Structure 1
């Protein structure tokens, strides 16, 4: 039984008067700016919600899903990829302006012009799993946030193992264990780097947020929307 199943079982078995909890499962990928915006807004919402409802325990679980799993392991030219994908430099500029506005409201200043490589994110997701196995979900969330900021604000290639090792060490991961994890033979045996990291057929995109298996939100919603979803989750 995985952690998610264990928590559902615990919720079902909770005795009257026991402290209720909200479990929030977040499906994400590192190359999605809306995932970072959603993560920051969710963090704000959880802080506000726990202040309003200190009797409720909130847990956040991170579920990886690659948006572009067949990206070459060495990555692709970032700027050219999005020009081809959206059709013109003007279309790219319009899309980035939209994201910048939403990011600014969440306290994020994206630096798209600094990004040179669109990475394959399989290795980055594997490092986040390593963080969870050697620490806890809080440490994993901190690493995930750092990987996001390294990519979107510093232009770091988070598909590069040396970059991942540096960031992992910055976040307090044990050096030798991290190095062994990154260089383990066969970890990316598929030459495309593809990993089936999340296969729920009901989740068509990222970010996706599931609250106590009863309420879900897709996209980067406001803190108020997340708080409302948590309120509904504990009422069900």
Structure 2
């Protein structure tokens, strides 16, 4: 049996990075329980802050303004770091300078899916985008950075750069984000399993596996 899983996420959401790792654990659990199960995982765009300027904005200042000061940001990041440790994921928040506008990064993921890249290649691209932002402190709103990320995943840097410079895919990505919003999604990660069962938040691998098996029934 093939299971379709749509993941709504934003690439500057730390819980989405954690959720990606927990989903991988869930898929392994389902495969153990239901050998032969196939998965079609689709990444859908979400904008945590649609007002982010195209060039991005200072990361720390944005967080402190949003959450109410340095102390609260530090507590939130400790919570995220602890959750990341559970899935062998190390966050390096201190390396992040810019909070990027993620439209271009979402377009890059959209392109990979639209032209039929293998699911493993799309997964690697998404993983590397998250890692670029949260672990290496790279600006994933910047054209050259995105082209280099794609090239590291086996794509052609010049083709990716030309695509991003052209504005291709922008209308489609914005349309997908609008459709997600029309479904009532206000936070991410958000999973839609078999187009009928939804799971909100970065739930544990055990919870996600149970939801997938429920949807399969």
Whether TM exceeds 0.5 here: the answer is yes
CA distance in 1 between counterparts of 2:176 and 2:27 reads: 25
- The reply on whether 1:133 has 2:133 as its aligned counterpart is no
* Greater helix content: 2
Q: Which runs of 5+ in 1 are unaligned?
A: 1-19
Post-superposition offset of 1:163: 0.4
Instruction: Spell out structure 1 runs of 4+ moving beyond 3 A.
Output: 185-189, 194-197
CA contact (8 A) 2:3 2:39 kept: yes
Give the 3-state SS of the residue equivalent to 2:135 in structure 1.
Answer: helix
Number of equivalenced pairs: 212
Give the 3-state SS of the residue equivalent to 1:154 in structure 2.
Answer: coil
Deviates more, 1:111-120 or 1:42-51: 42-51
- The reply on whether 1:214 has 2:196 as its aligned counterpart is yes
* Higher CA-based Rg: 1
Q: 1:158 to 1:209 in 2, by over 3 A?
A: same
Post-superposition offset of 1:76: 0.4
Post-superposition offset of 1:187: 6.5
The superposition leaves residues 158-188 of structure 1 with CA deviations (integer Å, 9 ceiling, x where unpaired) of 0000100111110111233212101115776
Q: Which residue of 2 aligns with 1:172?
A: 154
Q: Which residue of 2 aligns with 1:226?
A: 208
Post-superposition offset of 1:217: 0.8
CA contact (8 A) 1:50 1:58 kept: no
Report the aligned-residue RMSD. 1.7
The superposition leaves residues 127-153 of structure 1 with CA deviations (integer Å, 9 ceiling, x where unpaired) of 112222341333112101100001000
- The reply on whether 1:115 has 2:132 as its aligned counterpart is no
1:86 to 42, 51, 67: 67
CA contact (8 A) 1:65 1:196 kept: no
CA distance in 2 between counterparts of 1:164 and 1:62 reads: 17
- Map of 1:1-236 to 2, 5 A cutoff? 20-134=1-115, 135-184=117-166, 195-198=174-177, 199-200=179-180, 201=182, 202-235=184-217
The superposition leaves residues 91-127 of structure 1 with CA deviations (integer Å, 9 ceiling, x where unpaired) of 0111111111111111111111110000000000111
CA contact (8 A) 1:131 1:173 kept: no
CA distance in 2 between counterparts of 1:185 and 1:25 reads: 24
CA contact (8 A) 1:37 1:103 kept: yes
Q: 1:172 to 1:89 in 2, by over 3 A?
A: same
Deviates more, 1:209-218 or 1:144-153: 209-218
Q: Which runs of 5+ in 2 are unaligned?
A: none
CA contact (8 A) 2:110 2:169 kept: no
CA contact (8 A) 1:76 1:118 kept: yes
